[in-house]
Chains A and B, each alone.
Chain A
Amino acid sequence: MLTDEIGLVGEISFYFEHRARCLSLCRSSLLGWSLGLFYSTVVRMASMFSRVLTGRNTAMIVAGLGAGSLMSSYVLTDSQVFAGEKTKLYPPSADFPDLRKHNNCMASALTPAIYGRLRDKLTPNDWSVDQCIQTGVDNPGHPFIKTVGMVAGDEESYEVFAELFDPVIKDRHNGYDPKTMKHPTDLDSSKITSGMFDEKYVLSSRVRTGRSIRGLSLPPACSRAERREVERVVVQALSGLKDDLAGKYYSLTDMTEKEQQQLIDDHFLFDKPVSPLLTCAGMARDWPDARGIWHNNEKSFLIWINEEDHTRVISMEKGGNMKRVFERFCRGLKENSSSCSVSSSVCMQVEKLIQERGWEFMWNERLGYVLTCPSNLGTGLRAGVHVRLPLLSKDSRLNKILDNLRLQKRGTGGVDTAAVGDTFDISNLDRLGKSEVELVQCVIDGVNYLIDCEKKLERGEDIIVPAPVIQFKK
Chain B
Amino acid sequence: MPFGNTHNQLKMNYSAEQEYPDLTKHNNHMAKVLTPEMYANLRDKQTPSGFTLDDVIQTGVDNPGHPFIMTVGCVAGDEETYDVFKDLLDPVIEDRHGGYKPSDKHKTDLNPDNLKGGDDLDPNYVLSSRVRTGRSIRGFCLPPHCSRGERRGIESLSVEALGALGGDLKGKYYALKDMTDDEQQQLIDDHFLFDKPVSPLLLASGMARDWPDARGIWHNNNKTFLVWVNEEDHLRVISMQKGGNMKEVFNRFCTGLTKIEELFKAKGHEFMWNEHLGYVLTCPSNLGTGLRGGVHVKLPNVSKHEKFGEILKRLRLQKRGTGGVDTAAVGGVFDISNADRLGFSEVELVQMVVDGVKLLVEMEKRLEAGQSIDGLMPEQK
Contact = CB atoms under 8 A, between A and B. Distances in A.
Nearest to B51: A22
Contact of B10 (A59, A128, A217, A280): A217
Please report whether the interface of chain A is mostly helix, strand, loop or mixed according to DSSP: loop
Contacts of A101: 177
A318 interface: no
Given A21-B46, A54-B139, A55-B139, A94 B152 contact: yes
B138 A55 contact: yes
A56 B50 CA distance: 13
B158 interface: no
B142 to A, nearest CB: 12
Contacts of B47: 22, 25
B49 A286 contact: no
B168 interface: no
A94 B148 contact: yes
A106 to B, nearest CB: 13
Nearest to B4: A128
Contact of B48 (A22, A55, A253): A22
B209 A228 contact: no
A201 interface: no
Nearest to A57: B139
B103 interface: no
B62 A287 contact: yes
Contacts of A138: 208-211
Given A223-B10, A223-B19, A224-B21, A98 B48 contact: no
Contact of A15 (B49, B62, B152, B177): B49
Interface string B1-17: 10110111111001100
B213 interface: yes
Contacts of B11: 223, 225
Contacts of A15: 48-49
A90 B48 contact: no
Given A125-B7, A279-B203, A285 B58 contact: yes
Contact of A126 (B9, B46, B138): B9
Contacts of B209: 134, 137-138, 280
Interface string A16-44: 01110111011100000000000000000
A284 to B, nearest CB: 7
A173 interface: no
A226 B14 contact: yes
Contacts of A55: 138-140, 268-269
Contacts of A225: 11, 14-15, 18-19
Interface residues on A, range: 35 or more
B149 interface: yes
Please report whether the interface of chain B is mostly helix, strand, loop or mixed according to DSSP: loop
Given A25-B47, A125-B10, A225-B11, A97 B4 contact: no
Contact of A86 (B1, B6, B44): B6
Contacts of A108: none
Contacts of A125: 7, 10
B10 A56 contact: no
Interface of A: 15, 17-19, 21-23, 25-27, 52, 54-57, 59-60, 63, 84, 86, 88-91, 94-98, 101, 122, 125-128, 130-131, 134, 137-138, 153, 217, 220-221, 223-226, 228-229, 253, 279-280, 282, 284-287, 289
19 contacts: A21-B44, A21-B45, A22-B50, A52-B149, A52-B153, A55-B140, A55-B269, A57-B139, A86-B4, A88-B149, A89-B149, A94-B152, A98-B177, A126-B10, A134-B209, A138-B208, A217-B7, A224-B18, A287-B62
Given A217-B7, A279-B203, A289-B22, 14 more contacts: A21-B45, A22-B48, A23-B48, A54-B157, A60-B48, A95-B147, A126-B8, A131-B4, A134-B209, A137-B209, A137-B213, A138-B209, A224-B21, A225-B18
Q: Can you list the 4 inter-chain pairs with the closest CB atoms, starting with the nearest?
A: A94-B149, A90-B149, A55-B139, A225-B14
Interface of B: 1, 3-4, 6-11, 14-15, 18-22, 44-50, 54, 58, 61-62, 80, 84, 138-140, 147-150, 152-153, 157, 177, 203-204, 208-211, 213, 268-269
